[in-house]
Every structure is written in C-alpha cells, then in structure tokens.
C-alpha cells in the first residue's frame, strides 16, 4: 500500500466511523464497507487499497468477499492470517445473528413451514459447503432442538442415516424436519434428493417417526419439498 500522511489517515478513519454511527451503511459503497471493516483487522494504515484489491480478487460486492474461503483470502496480497480470520468471522457472525435472533425470539417454527424455511435460510447464510441438519419439532412446529448432522463438499454430501436416528433417540422425538443447502446452486430438489427423502420417510415411518419435511436452501431462497408437486407425492403415499 502507498504511504499516506498519518494525520490525514487518522482523520479519514474518524470521519468514516462518525458517518457509520450517524447513518449506518446506507451511504457507503461496496469498497467503503470493506475498508471500514478492515479498520478492525489493521489498527493502523490505509485499508482503502486493500479493500479495492479484495473486491477485485473475490468479486465486486461485499457478499463476494465474505463468501471467500480462508485460503482464498490469504492468497490476496496484503491479507494475512489476522485479516482473513476476521473476514471469515464476520461471515459466520452474520449467519449466527440471523438464525439465533429468529430462534430466541420464538416467532418462527410455529404452525408454518415458511418460518422453518426462513430459519434455515439464516442458518445456512455464508456456508461454503453442503451441510445436512435436522430439527426435532412439536406438533405445531415449535423447535425442540436443531443439530448439524454432516458436512460435505461444495457439490455433495451423503445423508447420515445413523446420525439422524441417534438424533431422534437422544431427543425422544417423533417428528423431525431435515434440511440441507446448495451453496452454489438453486433451491431445487434433484432426483437424488427425491429418492433419499422418500426412503427416509418410509424407513422412519416403521418406527412411528414422522419426517415432516425436507427443506432445501440455495442461493435463490429455500424450498419445502413437501409443498412441491414434484416431491409432495412422497407424503401422499403415506
């Protein structure tokens, strides 16, 4: 980064922080948001050039930078271990904030599958790889417990049948919602999703356990498989 008068730079930081306190991010452009965030990874120095470099290497928007993996971030000139850790922390914090706010407000997971979809959209926010989750729910869809069952790669993950059964037994529940994400794709059910869900519904039914729904979260939102014409037949066959 080029040298800059320390006094001028200090004043620039104060002005940007004051602007944020007064009006949030509404008047900031993409590189200014990254620049402001980098203040807390680089207590001194000019972060403007680094912000532009991150947007050039990762993509033109803030979300592209936050979606970058740790290894990709550390490959950007000037972004070391501390800054890369901080940026990945911001991504994880955003997802945690979104899902925990919904969970502890108690406003979702009650008599509406759309609330379950919104919950998982928040939970999978910023996830770089596919994950499989399960939620034990009451009759009116109130959440009893939620747990990640498995991690996969960007394009695939195997369904952990044994872990799901262990989850059911641990929580003494008879109603479960399963969910997984397509981090680089749309919220569409594949043939593999259809067959895996059909088998789960039928297998767990033998133990008087209801697979209530299978939620898929993609870049374009979320999908309740039970609500679709394509996969809804799974439950109609019961």
pLDDT tens string 91-139: 888 877 776 766 555 555 666 888 888 888 888 887 888 999 999 998 8
Q: Which CATH architecture has domain 7-95?
A: Orthogonal Bundle (1.10)
The values of phi and psi at residue 126, to 5°, are 85, 0
Q: Where on the phi/psi map is residue 156: left (φ > 0), alpha (ψ -120 to 50), or beta?
A: beta
Looking at the chain, the domain(s) classified CATH 3.40.140.10 span: 112-236
Rounded to an integer, what distance in angstroms lies between the CA atom of residue 123 and that of residue 114? 14
Reported as a single tens digit per residue, the pLDDT across 23-51 is: 898 889 999 999 999 999 998 888 999 99
| Segment 62-102, tens digit of pLDDT | 988 998 989 999 999 999 999 999 999 998 888 777 767 66
CATH architecture of the domain covering 112-236: 3-Layer(aba) Sandwich (3.40)
Q: Which two tokens stand for residue 19?
A: 């602007």
């Amino acid at each position: 980064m080029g040298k800059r008068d320390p006094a001028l730079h200090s004043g620039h930081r104060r002005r940007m922080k004051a602007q944020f306190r007064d009006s949030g991010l509404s008047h900031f452009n993409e590189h200014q948001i990254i620049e402001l965030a980098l203040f807390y990874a680089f207590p001194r120095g000019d972060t403007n050039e680094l912000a532009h470099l991150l947007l050039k290497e990762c993509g033109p928007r803030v979300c592209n930078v936050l979606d970058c993996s740790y290894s990709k971030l550390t490959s950007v000139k000037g972004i070391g271990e501390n800054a890369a850790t901080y940026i990945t922390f911001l991504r994880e914090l955003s997802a945690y904030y979104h899902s925990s706010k919904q969970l502890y407000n108690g406003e979702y997971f009650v008599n509406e599958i759309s609330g379950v979809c919104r919950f998982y959209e928040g939970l999978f926010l910023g996830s770089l790889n596919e994950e499989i989750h399960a939620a034990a729910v009451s009759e009116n869809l109130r959440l009893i417990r939620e747990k990640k069952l498995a991690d996969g790669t960007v394009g695939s993950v195997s369904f952990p049948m044994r872990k799901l059964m262990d989850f059911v037994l641990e929580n003494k529940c008879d109603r479960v919602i399963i969910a997984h994400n397509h981090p680089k794709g749309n919220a569409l059910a594949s043939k593999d999703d259809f067959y895996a869900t059909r088998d789960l519904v039928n297998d767990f039914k033998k133990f008087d356990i209801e697979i209530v729904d299978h939620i898929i979260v993609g870049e374009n939102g979320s999908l309740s498989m039970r609500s679709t014409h394509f996969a809804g037949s799974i439950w109609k066959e019961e």
